[in-house]
Amino acid sequence: MSEESESLRTSPSVASLSESELPPPPEPPGYVCSLTEDLVTKAREELQEKPEWRLRDVQALRDMVRKEYPNLSTSLDDAFLLRFLRARKFDYDRALQLLVNYHSCRRSWPEVFSNLRPSALKEVLSSGFLTVLPRTDPRGCHVLCIRPDRWIPSNYPITENIRAIYLTLEKLIQSEETQVNGIVILADYKGVSLSKASHFGPFIAKKVIGILQDGFPIRIKAVHVVNEPRIFKGIFAIIKPFLKEKIANRFFLHGSDLNSLHTNLPRNILPKEYGGTAGELDTATWNAVLLASEEDFVREFCQPVPACDSILGQAQLPAGLTSDAPCDDSMRAVKSQLYSCY
Protein backbone atom coordinates (compact mmCIF):
# COMPACT_ATOMS: atom_id res chain seq x y z
CA MET A 1 0.00 0.00 0.00
CA SER A 2 1.26 3.51 -0.78
CA GLU A 3 2.06 6.03 1.97
CA GLU A 4 -0.90 8.09 0.80
CA SER A 5 -3.30 5.13 1.08
CA GLU A 6 -1.90 4.19 4.47
CA SER A 7 -2.43 7.70 5.75
CA LEU A 8 -6.07 7.53 4.72
CA ARG A 9 -6.52 4.57 7.03
CA THR A 10 -5.43 6.61 10.04
CA SER A 11 -8.21 8.10 12.13
CA PRO A 12 -7.67 11.76 13.08
CA SER A 13 -8.13 10.79 16.73
CA VAL A 14 -5.15 8.38 16.62
CA ALA A 15 -2.93 10.20 14.16
CA SER A 16 -0.15 10.66 16.68
CA LEU A 17 0.11 6.94 17.48
CA SER A 18 1.53 4.18 15.31
CA GLU A 19 -0.25 0.88 14.88
CA SER A 20 2.34 -0.81 17.10
CA GLU A 21 1.68 1.67 19.93
CA LEU A 22 -2.11 1.61 19.83
CA PRO A 23 -3.81 -1.57 21.09
CA PRO A 24 -6.53 -2.90 18.78
CA PRO A 25 -10.00 -1.94 19.99
CA PRO A 26 -12.15 -4.79 21.29
CA GLU A 27 -14.93 -5.83 18.93
CA PRO A 28 -18.26 -4.90 20.56
CA PRO A 29 -21.10 -7.43 20.73
CA GLY A 30 -22.92 -5.46 18.02
CA TYR A 31 -20.58 -6.80 15.34
CA VAL A 32 -19.51 -10.40 14.83
CA CYS A 33 -17.41 -11.16 11.78
CA SER A 34 -18.93 -13.96 9.69
CA LEU A 35 -16.04 -14.29 7.23
CA THR A 36 -14.18 -17.57 6.93
CA GLU A 37 -10.42 -17.59 7.40
CA ASP A 38 -9.97 -17.72 3.63
CA LEU A 39 -12.20 -14.69 3.15
CA VAL A 40 -10.42 -12.81 5.94
CA THR A 41 -7.19 -13.42 4.04
CA LYS A 42 -8.78 -12.38 0.75
CA ALA A 43 -10.13 -9.18 2.31
CA ARG A 44 -6.69 -8.38 3.69
CA GLU A 45 -4.99 -8.92 0.31
CA GLU A 46 -7.59 -7.36 -2.00
CA LEU A 47 -9.39 -4.79 0.17
CA GLN A 48 -6.64 -3.73 2.60
CA GLU A 49 -8.83 -4.90 5.48
CA LYS A 50 -6.92 -5.63 8.67
CA PRO A 51 -9.08 -7.56 11.15
CA GLU A 52 -7.15 -6.16 14.09
CA TRP A 53 -7.99 -2.60 12.98
CA ARG A 54 -11.43 -3.21 11.49
CA LEU A 55 -13.38 -1.50 14.26
CA ARG A 56 -10.90 1.38 14.43
CA ASP A 57 -11.49 1.99 10.72
CA VAL A 58 -15.25 1.86 11.20
CA GLN A 59 -15.03 4.36 14.05
CA ALA A 60 -12.92 6.68 11.90
CA LEU A 61 -15.59 6.66 9.17
CA ARG A 62 -18.32 7.17 11.77
CA ASP A 63 -16.45 10.18 13.17
CA MET A 64 -16.10 11.66 9.67
CA VAL A 65 -19.84 11.30 9.01
CA ARG A 66 -20.71 12.99 12.29
CA LYS A 67 -18.29 15.82 11.67
CA GLU A 68 -18.85 16.51 7.97
CA TYR A 69 -22.51 15.46 7.58
CA PRO A 70 -24.03 15.78 11.06
CA ASN A 71 -27.59 15.83 9.72
CA LEU A 72 -27.23 12.87 7.38
CA SER A 73 -29.99 10.40 8.12
CA THR A 74 -28.02 7.17 7.91
CA SER A 75 -27.24 4.08 9.90
CA LEU A 76 -23.89 4.25 11.67
CA ASP A 77 -23.82 0.60 12.69
CA ASP A 78 -20.50 -1.18 12.34
CA ALA A 79 -21.84 -3.74 9.85
CA PHE A 80 -23.44 -1.06 7.67
CA LEU A 81 -20.37 1.17 7.51
CA LEU A 82 -18.14 -1.80 6.74
CA ARG A 83 -19.94 -2.21 3.41
CA PHE A 84 -18.64 1.17 2.28
CA LEU A 85 -15.13 0.69 3.60
CA ARG A 86 -14.81 -2.65 1.81
CA ALA A 87 -16.21 -1.25 -1.42
CA ARG A 88 -13.51 1.44 -1.37
CA LYS A 89 -10.64 -0.65 0.00
CA PHE A 90 -10.67 1.09 3.38
CA ASP A 91 -9.92 4.50 1.94
CA TYR A 92 -11.78 6.71 4.42
CA ASP A 93 -12.42 9.64 2.11
CA ARG A 94 -13.68 7.50 -0.77
CA ALA A 95 -15.85 5.42 1.57
CA LEU A 96 -17.41 8.60 2.96
CA GLN A 97 -18.12 9.91 -0.54
CA LEU A 98 -19.69 6.58 -1.49
CA LEU A 99 -21.93 6.70 1.58
CA VAL A 100 -23.05 10.24 0.75
CA ASN A 101 -23.63 9.27 -2.90
CA TYR A 102 -25.64 6.27 -1.74
CA HIS A 103 -28.11 8.50 0.06
CA SER A 104 -28.03 11.22 -2.60
CA CYS A 105 -28.95 8.71 -5.31
CA ARG A 106 -31.87 7.40 -3.30
CA ARG A 107 -33.29 10.86 -2.75
CA SER A 108 -32.72 12.12 -6.28
CA TRP A 109 -34.78 9.42 -8.04
CA PRO A 110 -38.08 8.98 -6.14
CA GLU A 111 -39.64 6.97 -8.99
CA VAL A 112 -37.21 4.19 -8.12
CA PHE A 113 -36.63 4.51 -4.40
CA SER A 114 -39.99 5.54 -2.96
CA ASN A 115 -41.92 2.66 -1.36
CA LEU A 116 -39.16 0.25 -2.37
CA ARG A 117 -40.25 -3.09 -0.98
CA PRO A 118 -40.77 -6.60 -2.38
CA SER A 119 -44.56 -6.60 -2.12
CA ALA A 120 -44.69 -3.53 -4.40
CA LEU A 121 -42.78 -5.45 -7.08
CA LYS A 122 -44.62 -8.76 -7.21
CA GLU A 123 -45.45 -8.35 -10.89
CA VAL A 124 -41.80 -7.86 -11.82
CA LEU A 125 -40.67 -10.75 -9.64
CA SER A 126 -43.33 -13.13 -10.96
CA SER A 127 -42.37 -12.29 -14.55
CA GLY A 128 -39.01 -13.98 -14.13
CA PHE A 129 -37.15 -10.81 -15.10
CA LEU A 130 -34.40 -11.51 -12.59
CA THR A 131 -33.14 -14.06 -10.12
CA VAL A 132 -29.98 -15.04 -8.28
CA LEU A 133 -28.53 -18.45 -9.11
CA PRO A 134 -28.38 -20.83 -6.14
CA ARG A 135 -24.64 -21.50 -6.48
CA THR A 136 -21.77 -19.01 -6.61
CA ASP A 137 -19.03 -19.00 -9.23
CA PRO A 138 -15.53 -20.37 -8.46
CA ARG A 139 -14.51 -17.02 -6.97
CA GLY A 140 -17.46 -17.04 -4.58
CA CYS A 141 -19.45 -14.43 -6.51
CA HIS A 142 -23.22 -14.66 -6.54
CA VAL A 143 -24.61 -14.59 -10.08
CA LEU A 144 -27.46 -12.16 -10.76
CA CYS A 145 -29.37 -13.35 -13.84
CA ILE A 146 -31.36 -10.72 -15.75
CA ARG A 147 -33.72 -11.54 -18.65
CA PRO A 148 -35.07 -8.38 -20.29
CA ASP A 149 -37.21 -10.40 -22.70
CA ARG A 150 -39.51 -11.26 -19.77
CA TRP A 151 -40.52 -7.62 -19.44
CA ILE A 152 -43.68 -6.46 -21.24
CA PRO A 153 -43.48 -2.63 -21.45
CA SER A 154 -47.25 -2.21 -21.60
CA ASN A 155 -47.54 -3.80 -18.15
CA TYR A 156 -45.30 -1.43 -16.21
CA PRO A 157 -42.50 1.11 -16.84
CA ILE A 158 -38.82 0.23 -17.05
CA THR A 159 -38.21 1.87 -13.67
CA GLU A 160 -39.98 -1.09 -12.05
CA ASN A 161 -37.24 -3.37 -13.41
CA ILE A 162 -34.60 -1.04 -11.99
CA ARG A 163 -36.36 -1.13 -8.63
CA ALA A 164 -36.26 -4.94 -8.65
CA ILE A 165 -32.54 -4.95 -9.48
CA TYR A 166 -31.77 -2.47 -6.70
CA LEU A 167 -33.85 -4.47 -4.24
CA THR A 168 -31.85 -7.57 -5.12
CA LEU A 169 -28.51 -5.75 -4.73
CA GLU A 170 -29.57 -4.46 -1.32
CA LYS A 171 -30.37 -7.98 -0.21
CA LEU A 172 -27.15 -9.44 -1.60
CA ILE A 173 -24.90 -6.83 -0.02
CA GLN A 174 -26.14 -7.71 3.46
CA SER A 175 -23.81 -10.72 3.25
CA GLU A 176 -20.20 -10.10 4.26
CA GLU A 177 -19.22 -12.81 1.80
CA THR A 178 -20.70 -10.74 -1.04
CA GLN A 179 -19.04 -7.58 0.25
CA VAL A 180 -15.66 -9.27 -0.17
CA ASN A 181 -16.24 -11.43 -3.24
CA GLY A 182 -18.51 -9.14 -5.27
CA ILE A 183 -21.11 -10.29 -7.78
CA VAL A 184 -21.34 -11.35 -11.41
CA ILE A 185 -24.17 -10.32 -13.73
CA LEU A 186 -25.49 -12.68 -16.41
CA ALA A 187 -27.72 -10.79 -18.87
CA ASP A 188 -29.73 -12.75 -21.44
CA TYR A 189 -30.83 -10.45 -24.26
CA LYS A 190 -32.61 -13.12 -26.27
CA GLY A 191 -35.66 -11.70 -28.01
CA VAL A 192 -35.05 -8.06 -27.06
CA SER A 193 -36.68 -5.97 -29.78
CA LEU A 194 -35.96 -2.49 -31.04
CA SER A 195 -39.13 -1.22 -29.38
CA LYS A 196 -38.13 -2.63 -26.02
CA ALA A 197 -34.51 -1.46 -26.29
CA SER A 198 -35.62 2.11 -26.99
CA HIS A 199 -36.93 2.42 -23.44
CA PHE A 200 -33.34 2.27 -22.14
CA GLY A 201 -32.08 5.60 -23.40
CA PRO A 202 -29.20 7.84 -22.25
CA PHE A 203 -31.14 9.41 -19.38
CA ILE A 204 -31.95 6.05 -17.77
CA ALA A 205 -28.50 4.64 -18.62
CA LYS A 206 -26.66 7.52 -16.92
CA LYS A 207 -28.73 7.19 -13.77
CA VAL A 208 -28.38 3.42 -13.47
CA ILE A 209 -24.65 3.42 -14.18
CA GLY A 210 -24.10 6.37 -11.86
CA ILE A 211 -25.65 4.35 -9.04
CA LEU A 212 -23.82 1.11 -9.76
CA GLN A 213 -20.39 2.75 -10.17
CA ASP A 214 -20.47 5.51 -7.59
CA GLY A 215 -23.58 5.17 -5.46
CA PHE A 216 -23.77 1.61 -4.20
CA PRO A 217 -21.27 -0.42 -2.11
CA ILE A 218 -20.95 -3.48 -4.31
CA ARG A 219 -18.12 -4.91 -6.41
CA ILE A 220 -19.23 -5.94 -9.90
CA LYS A 221 -16.58 -8.41 -11.03
CA ALA A 222 -17.99 -9.27 -14.47
CA VAL A 223 -20.99 -8.76 -16.76
CA HIS A 224 -21.65 -11.65 -19.13
CA VAL A 225 -24.07 -10.93 -21.96
CA VAL A 226 -25.54 -13.85 -23.91
CA ASN A 227 -27.90 -14.19 -26.86
CA GLU A 228 -27.53 -10.52 -27.68
CA PRO A 229 -29.11 -9.52 -31.02
CA ARG A 230 -27.52 -6.96 -33.31
CA ILE A 231 -29.57 -4.33 -31.55
CA PHE A 232 -27.36 -4.77 -28.49
CA LYS A 233 -24.59 -2.88 -30.26
CA GLY A 234 -26.86 0.13 -30.05
CA ILE A 235 -27.66 -0.50 -26.41
CA PHE A 236 -23.98 -0.82 -25.55
CA ALA A 237 -23.22 2.33 -27.54
CA ILE A 238 -25.62 4.17 -25.21
CA ILE A 239 -24.08 2.64 -22.09
CA LYS A 240 -20.37 2.70 -22.83
CA PRO A 241 -19.71 6.47 -22.63
CA PHE A 242 -20.80 6.40 -18.99
CA LEU A 243 -18.72 3.37 -17.99
CA LYS A 244 -15.38 3.68 -16.26
CA GLU A 245 -12.63 1.82 -18.08
CA LYS A 246 -12.30 -0.80 -15.36
CA ILE A 247 -16.01 -1.67 -15.57
CA ALA A 248 -16.11 -1.51 -19.37
CA ASN A 249 -13.30 -4.08 -19.48
CA ARG A 250 -15.43 -6.44 -17.41
CA PHE A 251 -18.15 -6.74 -20.06
CA PHE A 252 -18.03 -9.99 -22.02
CA LEU A 253 -20.29 -10.52 -25.04
CA HIS A 254 -20.79 -14.20 -25.81
CA GLY A 255 -23.63 -14.16 -28.34
CA SER A 256 -25.07 -17.67 -28.65
CA ASP A 257 -21.69 -19.28 -27.95
CA LEU A 258 -22.34 -21.00 -24.63
CA ASN A 259 -18.92 -22.62 -24.70
CA SER A 260 -17.48 -19.12 -24.42
CA LEU A 261 -19.73 -18.46 -21.43
CA HIS A 262 -18.64 -21.72 -19.79
CA THR A 263 -15.00 -20.64 -19.78
CA ASN A 264 -16.06 -17.99 -17.26
CA LEU A 265 -19.07 -19.54 -15.55
CA PRO A 266 -18.80 -23.33 -15.20
CA ARG A 267 -21.67 -25.53 -16.31
CA ASN A 268 -22.25 -26.96 -12.83
CA ILE A 269 -23.56 -23.61 -11.52
CA LEU A 270 -25.66 -22.75 -14.60
CA PRO A 271 -29.22 -23.85 -15.35
CA LYS A 272 -29.88 -25.92 -18.44
CA GLU A 273 -31.16 -22.82 -20.26
CA TYR A 274 -27.51 -21.76 -20.48
CA GLY A 275 -26.00 -25.17 -21.17
CA GLY A 276 -25.57 -25.93 -17.50
CA THR A 277 -26.17 -28.99 -15.35
CA ALA A 278 -27.86 -27.29 -12.36
CA GLY A 279 -31.43 -28.02 -13.46
CA GLU A 280 -34.00 -25.56 -14.76
CA LEU A 281 -33.73 -21.86 -13.94
CA ASP A 282 -35.46 -21.28 -10.61
CA THR A 283 -36.90 -17.84 -9.93
CA ALA A 284 -39.30 -18.77 -7.13
CA THR A 285 -36.64 -19.36 -4.48
CA TRP A 286 -35.06 -15.92 -4.80
CA ASN A 287 -38.49 -14.27 -4.96
CA ALA A 288 -39.32 -15.96 -1.65
CA VAL A 289 -36.07 -14.67 -0.13
CA LEU A 290 -36.96 -11.10 -1.10
CA LEU A 291 -40.58 -11.32 0.02
CA ALA A 292 -39.45 -12.70 3.39
CA SER A 293 -37.41 -9.49 3.83
CA GLU A 294 -40.44 -7.20 3.52
CA GLU A 295 -40.15 -5.72 7.01
CA ASP A 296 -36.47 -4.87 6.56
CA PHE A 297 -37.18 -2.93 3.38
CA VAL A 298 -40.17 -1.15 4.91
CA ARG A 299 -37.95 0.12 7.72
CA GLU A 300 -35.21 1.20 5.32
CA PHE A 301 -37.10 2.61 2.33
CA CYS A 302 -40.66 3.43 3.38
CA GLN A 303 -40.02 6.02 6.09
CA PRO A 304 -40.23 9.80 5.54
CA VAL A 305 -36.83 11.47 5.17
CA PRO A 306 -35.81 15.13 5.55
CA ALA A 307 -35.34 17.23 2.45
CA CYS A 308 -32.22 16.32 0.48
CA ASP A 309 -30.71 19.82 0.63
CA SER A 310 -30.87 20.05 4.41
CA ILE A 311 -29.24 16.64 4.82
CA LEU A 312 -26.53 16.59 2.22
CA GLY A 313 -25.70 20.24 1.76
CA GLN A 314 -23.41 20.63 -1.20
CA ALA A 315 -22.74 16.91 -1.64
CA GLN A 316 -21.89 16.10 -5.21
CA LEU A 317 -24.08 13.58 -6.99
CA PRO A 318 -22.59 10.90 -9.24
CA ALA A 319 -22.65 11.67 -12.95
CA GLY A 320 -26.13 11.21 -14.35
CA LEU A 321 -27.92 12.05 -11.10
CA THR A 322 -27.33 15.77 -10.94
CA SER A 323 -30.56 16.70 -12.62
CA ASP A 324 -34.00 15.24 -13.18
CA ALA A 325 -34.19 16.89 -16.58
CA PRO A 326 -33.74 14.26 -19.31
CA CYS A 327 -31.00 14.72 -21.82
CA ASP A 328 -31.69 14.15 -25.52
CA ASP A 329 -33.69 11.02 -24.82
CA SER A 330 -36.64 11.21 -27.16
CA MET A 331 -37.90 7.91 -28.49
CA ARG A 332 -37.13 9.03 -32.02
CA ALA A 333 -33.49 9.88 -31.23
CA VAL A 334 -32.85 6.62 -29.43
CA LYS A 335 -34.53 4.52 -32.12
CA SER A 336 -32.46 6.27 -34.77
CA GLN A 337 -29.28 5.23 -32.97
CA LEU A 338 -30.51 1.68 -32.55
CA TYR A 339 -31.64 1.38 -36.19
CA SER A 340 -28.08 2.15 -37.29
CA CYS A 341 -27.02 -1.21 -35.86
CA TYR A 342 -28.96 -3.11 -38.47
Euclidean distance between CA atoms 258 and 267, whole angstroms:
9
Query: Pick from 327, 141, 112: which is nearest to 222 by CA?
Result: 141
Write out pLDDT tens, residues 131-148.
999 999 999 999 999 999
Write out pLDDT tens, residues 193-246.
888 888 888 888 899 999 999 999 999 999 999 999 887 887 788 888 899 999
Residue 328 lies in a domain: no
Three-class secondary structure assignment of 25-83 = CCCCCCCCCCCCHHHHHHHHHHHCCCHHHHHHHHHHHHHHHHHHCCCCCCCCCHHHHHH
* Across 267-280, average pLDDT: 97
What's the confidence (pLDDT) of residue 326?
47
- Is the domain of 132 the same as that of 72? no
Task: Assign 336 a pLDDT band (cuts: 50, 70, 90).
Answer: very low
Residue 8 lies in a domain: no
* Across 66-70, average pLDDT: 97
- Is the domain of 122 the same as that of 270? yes
**What domain range is 200 assigned to?**
113-302
Residue 90 lies in a domain: yes
Mean pLDDT of the chain: 85
Residue 29 lies in a domain: no
* Across 271-287, average pLDDT: 97
Write out pLDDT tens, residues 168-183.
999 999 999 999 999 9
- Is the domain of 134 the same as that of 217? yes
- Is the domain of 197 the same as that of 219? yes
- Is the domain of 241 the same as that of 121? yes
Under a CB-based contact definition with an 8 Å cutoff, are residues 102 and 215 in contact?
yes
- Is the domain of 262 the same as that of 181? yes
| Percent of the chain clearing pLDDT 70 (strictly above) | 80
Residue 236 lies in a domain: yes
What's the confidence (pLDDT) of residue 238?
81
Residue 31 lies in a domain: no
Decide which of 274 and 192 is more confident: 274
Euclidean distance between CA atoms 283 and 3, whole angstroms:
47
Q: Angle formed by the axes of helices 54-68 and 78-87, to 10°?
A: 90
- Is the domain of 150 the same as that of 240? yes
Domain boundary among 78, 108, 138: 108
Residue 248 lies in a domain: yes
What's the confidence (pLDDT) of residue 324?
47
Task: Assign 110 a pLDDT band (cuts: 50, 70, 90).
Answer: very high
Please check the confidence at residue 332 and state whether its pLDDT lies above 70. no
Write out pLDDT tens, residues 5-52.
444 444 444 444 444 455 554 544 578 999 999 999 999 999 999 999
Euclidean distance between CA atoms 141 and 184, whole angstroms:
6
- Is the domain of 130 the same as that of 228? yes
Domain boundary among 60, 87, 108: 108
If phi > 0 it is left, if psi is from -120 to 50 it is alpha, else beta; for residue 115 that is: left
- Is the domain of 119 the same as that of 256? yes
Question: Which range is least confidently modeled, 205-209, 238-242, 263-267, 295-299?
Answer: 238-242
Whichever domain contains 171, its CATH number is: 3.40.525.10
